[in-house]
Structure 1
């Protein structure tokens, strides 16, 4: 007996150490007595879960287990068991998938029902139809919520059974076809048809019989629903009737959404949920749409039938309601209920009465229901309710505008007078014209009339003048500023800010000078003021159009001793000094002793004078290379644009000339004959200079430059006695595009000369040192086309035939 007790204690120690290992491989301090062979598959699965929770592999856990006394041989067995368990888990999953394909009784998932939601344009106005056209509103059950305590278990559900505490156990157990769950070491338990709450108590009692620590309270049992079974429901009368496989947690609204909602003539208010061949519940969707009440959204059971019958009564609401459309009515409901479905009248509705278009057995008729009848009138099928818009009229509106402090629209009351309205508008402004005010009044025949009011008397208490007002009156209070002409005054000439200014009473010349920024430095003492002539009679003997005043002022002072008073529309002109010209200069550059800018000392300064002031020509100066570059003025371009050359609208010659002056040519060149000027300073070539002129004196250059359409652009040394042809030959002659007979030469002073001919004898201009020969390009000759050649040949042949005929 003693040996048996010792063996039992040893076995219990091994079992207890195995349990410790299964509980926590990582936290246990002594693993020396562990026997892997005694561990169950669930223990191995738990060890694997512990490793995964701590993000550790079997290899990483090995040193830790060996350090705690676990034999290496036992850990090798554990490693093999963990590997086999992983493979077995994968195989089990494959078997489950295989079984799921063969039979979906136990582990069949909810089929994904995808309905293409198409907007029902035919029934779009039916209240509630949009509920089933919206793909984002599908009423799918939330599988992540806690398990409902009244949920009834059945075949296909799966329970998660856990024992935790001193003893631990964890397993997923499906409800079999027979309605039983099988728990290891506990056995089979019948749960089908029981609520999850009742099944939990039954399973806990069965486990407590096996696990002593559960009975003692050292271990606890937890049971939850881990997989939901699929049920089958039938929908009749929907847009997409048929059988649907849905979650066992699904509700009526979820099934209705899958079926597309009621059909064309389906009822929204009398939907029947049939269970066990009896009407279990009547569903009214309006309770949800109007009040958000989901009491009809009950859970479904396997083989439930949702029947949507045809509607009994529908009416239409049009016009000024917040939700116009077609509504389904139940027996006994009134127009007030219908108004609730339509969310009531909108802001512009005429609510005193509603027009109803009603059908009889033969024809239509019209009924008006007043506000007092809204709670008693019971709509009939086919009624069309028309809610009209209120009139754009006001019951008690009156308006005041003009010279009052608060012009606006005010409420009218019987007996209101104009003084009362002005008091509401917080009185008259200071500029109010009190001799007359205007009332525009709408008469009974909708025509308007004007009533004039003496405001001064009305506000003084004269009841006859204090006119009684009527609704829709528009009162206008005039301002004296409306009758004042807007006066202006003009100033120009030597003033910093010339322009047109407002005239004010008692405006003087000093005031205007200061307002216009003061006098410029070139202002003279002379000021002319032109004043318009006003007269009631025409004086033909007086031809004057304006009266002139000539005033002398102190030009360097804006404040004049004699302050001239101005009148409306006066025109003031400040004259310029007779002599007031800023110094102007010209530029001298090139071969002179002192180049630079020189001020024109007198109005007739000439080339010779400026060059003498510049120290004369240097020793290297080319006396034949003196020229003046004069800037082209804007006025010259304007004059050219104004000249009509009669070249036609499409001719571009004038446009090219204007463009060349504006963009290409910046200066006009004036040649200077220096030899003639030296001999006779009064010579015509001694040009009078203008501001901006530039005198250029070229340095002597013995070369002759040849450019243009020649074989080689080059500069050839000057050879006395050699002519035009010599220099062209020196650069290889002209090329095939060169136009030799139009060649020209530009001399150092800017003068140009061209070749000319007389009696077939062509003469070329003389070549001097520093000159430039230019050979232009020949114009392109248009070649005759074959058609033109044939036409000319035909004309010549015809002409030859005529001549021969004449000679015969």
Structure 2
């Protein structure tokens, strides 16, 4: 027994020594017995405060601690403990932060809240569905001076100066704080301000330097307690754990706001079984007044009774919905809850649908009754739109300086309206103006006005106007026909132009951009024939004028005056052709582009100008590439192949000519041309043609559906089949009997057959043999074979019967 007591005493002494060392880490002479694992968070906080008060980091304290006998392993543990978030307790001195930002701890409170979908139209329900408006207290704010302390709160008490002390002191369940060397102090039920004075008084009796001012005392709230409150009548009634700094609105938000039939205007806060306050949420919703958002205390009860009156507002107000009314409130109060009428509302009268004991009834509330009519529960107010009409509108359009809509007044006349529109324009037709007037039965009539008389002061002609009249002042330009003249031919900007009186040919040529370089001296002008009578003896449809001009000068000596609808044609010179070229490429001495000097230049002529063929030219490989002309495609489009509406053959041909086949190949028999230049293959060349002379090649290329695409050396006297066999023959898809050959000059030859004999084309050097693919043939099924066999058997039986 004695040994056990001795062991416990020694252990207590060691723990106490560790605590003492922890309280004065820098001043202790022996740190060899310090065990970091035995230090609690409060001891670590004290060491942190000691380092901060000496403006020293843990790294700077390491040599000192090791010199005082502290093991390196223990110092590493201490360094790690100080680096953890738990050790970085913020110490505040007179509101200033030591070690970081001021923060206050609060136990995590988890309350599940569901969005209210029951009555989303009730005014105020959106307040409790907005997650960003939760009324949570800000724990980083300064402690309210009227905050009442209670069990669960924690105070941070610091003494700094000559004497030092720092600690986080919880308020015990008995409502006391226990400060080392000072004793227990009762603070429950006191404000933080009163508790601070009481704690300072107690500390000053122990720390002698406090009364003299050599040391200062700081008391702050480091942890907020959690309180329990009860919600009755909310969307989610029950008991809630909330911060002691929470308010009524925060609690209502957690409870999802009032329930389906809950009141928003008569919420009761019960404290100590008594009505402490009645909360009207409309004060906050309408005016932003948070005077009802009072703080809560432990065991408070928030009771939400059922509503007494609810009404509905529909139509042209800024905020429609369901509103709760208190006794004595009027329609004017309801209108303020709805934020008033919108800009399209009919405000002279509001329709209200009321409910009696037996049925509905309708009532109209005039403007004068807004401040006196008291809505009844269940009223439905309908605010309608103003009429789409004007009480004083009048309109003028046409040849006035300011055509627009103006305000009408009784006694307004046509001259008054014209003066409002800044008067008549110069082109105004003064003999007549038109008024379209709406009669009392909403039909319209036309009233004509003599403007000359009306503007000269004749009251009879100066007609009195009515509201909604539309006055039209005509312009003389409206009666003038729009004249045009046309120019075409060798002019830079041919087209149709506006005619102006006095327009001459010189003017027109300049307006159209001037003559082109190919314009001739001949100009033809066609003019329409105008006559009141038909002259059958005159077969002409137009009158023609032939004029000679100077082509290189737009200013003519004879300036011909044009008339409306004249058509001017500038003729082209009889001979005016720009040089056009062809191209020669391949095995010629001077390849390149050559101008067609003669209209009948042929292949032989151009090749001779290119220096003739070279020694390596393949005389059987001369061909012409002629570009596909747009006209050829257009001709194909105009031909109806009678292939049906849905057949795509013609479209495929057009697409192939446009996108794939850009040239037509013309084979040339050079040997025949050399012997006779009048040979049919010595064709006349067109601009854009390209003469290609192939280089001699002894190989024969074999491609298509063969086993091996290759080029076989030419062997004189060998047949078509020799070259097919040289590449391994035809594959299983190859169609040998349709094989063909393309010669170097672009000419093609196909395989022909007669009875059982097949004649293959002759092979020459540089040619290409192509084996196409067999078309797909659908094979007959077994059922089809059986059907055909049955038919044949039946037919045989009939024939045998006939022969007998």
Change (3 A) 1:350 1:739: closer
Equivalent in the alignment of 1:283:
279
Equivalent in the alignment of 1:300:
296
1:488 CA displacement? 2.0
Residues 1:529 and 2:531 aligned together = no
Is the CA contact (8 Å cut-off) linking 1:628 and 1:672 kept in structure 2? Answer: no
| Bigger Cα displacement from structure 2, 443-452 vs 213-222 | 213-222
1:463-542 counterparts in 2 under 5 A? 463-542=459-538
Residues 1:436 and 2:446 aligned together = no
The 2-side partners of 1:414 and 1:729 are apart by 108
| Bigger Cα displacement from structure 2, 352-361 vs 571-580 | 352-361
1:716 CA displacement? 2.8
Cα distance per residue 1:621-655 (max 9 Å; x no partner): 88777766655544344434444455556666666
1:589 CA displacement? 6.4
1:138-149 counterparts in 2 under 5 A? 138-149=134-145
Q: Secondary structure in 2 aligned to 1:525?
A: strand
Q: Secondary structure in 1 aligned to 2:545?
A: strand
Residues 1:422 and 2:418 aligned together = yes
Equivalent in the alignment of 1:716:
714
Cα distance per residue 1:36-74 (max 9 Å; x no partner): 99xx999996444333678967674254579xxxxx55x
Equivalent in the alignment of 2:113:
116
Equivalent in the alignment of 2:196:
200
Q: Which of 546, 549, 565 is the aligned partner of 2:545?
A: 549
Residues 1:451 and 2:447 aligned together = yes
| Bigger Cα displacement from structure 2, 482-491 vs 620-629 | 620-629
Q: Which of 394, 397, 415 is the aligned partner of 2:393?
A: 397
Equivalent in the alignment of 1:169:
165
Q: Which runs of 5+ in 1 are unaligned?
A: 1-19, 67-71, 94-106
The 2-side partners of 1:733 and 1:82 are apart by 85
Is the CA contact (8 Å cut-off) linking 2:633 and 2:654 kept in structure 1? Answer: yes
Is the CA contact (8 Å cut-off) linking 1:743 and 1:773 kept in structure 2? Answer: no
1:805 CA displacement? 0.5
Q: Secondary structure in 2 aligned to 1:795?
A: helix
Residues 1:61 and 2:57 aligned together = no
Cα distance per residue 1:228-250 (max 9 Å; x no partner): 33332222222222222322222
Equivalent in the alignment of 1:51:
51
Change (3 A) 1:183 1:82: farther
Is the CA contact (8 Å cut-off) linking 1:191 and 1:199 kept in structure 2? Answer: yes
Change (3 A) 1:670 1:366: closer
Q: Which of 652, 656, 661 is the aligned partner of 1:664?
A: 661
The 2-side partners of 1:45 and 1:657 are apart by 92
Change (3 A) 1:533 1:200: same
Change (3 A) 1:466 1:626: same
Is the CA contact (8 Å cut-off) linking 1:606 and 1:688 kept in structure 2? Answer: yes
1:303 CA displacement? 2.4
The 1-side partners of 2:572 and 2:620 are apart by 44
Number of residues paired by the alignment?
Answer: 757
1:286 CA displacement? 1.8
1:787-806 counterparts in 2 under 5 A? 787-806=783-802
The 2-side partners of 1:108 and 1:556 are apart by 99
The 2-side partners of 1:677 and 1:108 are apart by 110
1:675-690 counterparts in 2 under 5 A? 678=675, 687-690=683-686
Residues 1:359 and 2:355 aligned together = yes
Residues 1:186 and 2:176 aligned together = no
1:405 CA displacement? 2.5
Q: Which of 374, 388, 395 is the aligned partner of 2:384?
A: 388
Q: Secondary structure in 1 aligned to 2:473?
A: strand
Cα distance per residue 1:182-212 (max 9 Å; x no partner): 2233323333333333333333322232233
Q: State the TM-score, normalized to the length of structure 2.
A: 0.81
Q: Provide the alpha-carbon RMSD of the alignment.
A: 4.5
Residues 1:217 and 2:177 aligned together = no
Q: Which has the larger radius of gyration?
A: 1
The 2-side partners of 1:664 and 1:89 are apart by 81
Q: State the TM-score, normalized to the length of structure 1.
A: 0.81
The 2-side partners of 1:772 and 1:89 are apart by 89
Change (3 A) 1:308 1:568: same
Is the CA contact (8 Å cut-off) linking 1:458 and 1:466 kept in structure 2? Answer: yes
The 1-side partners of 2:62 and 2:225 are apart by 42
1:753-764 counterparts in 2 under 5 A? none
The 2-side partners of 1:460 and 1:682 are apart by 94
Q: Which runs of 5+ in 2 are unaligned?
A: 1-19, 88-103
Equivalent in the alignment of 1:261:
257
1:501 CA displacement? 1.8
Equivalent in the alignment of 1:13:
none
The 2-side partners of 1:726 and 1:266 are apart by 102
Change (3 A) 1:35 1:766: closer
Residues 1:342 and 2:364 aligned together = no
Is the CA contact (8 Å cut-off) linking 2:105 and 2:223 kept in structure 1? Answer: no
1:613 CA displacement? 6.0
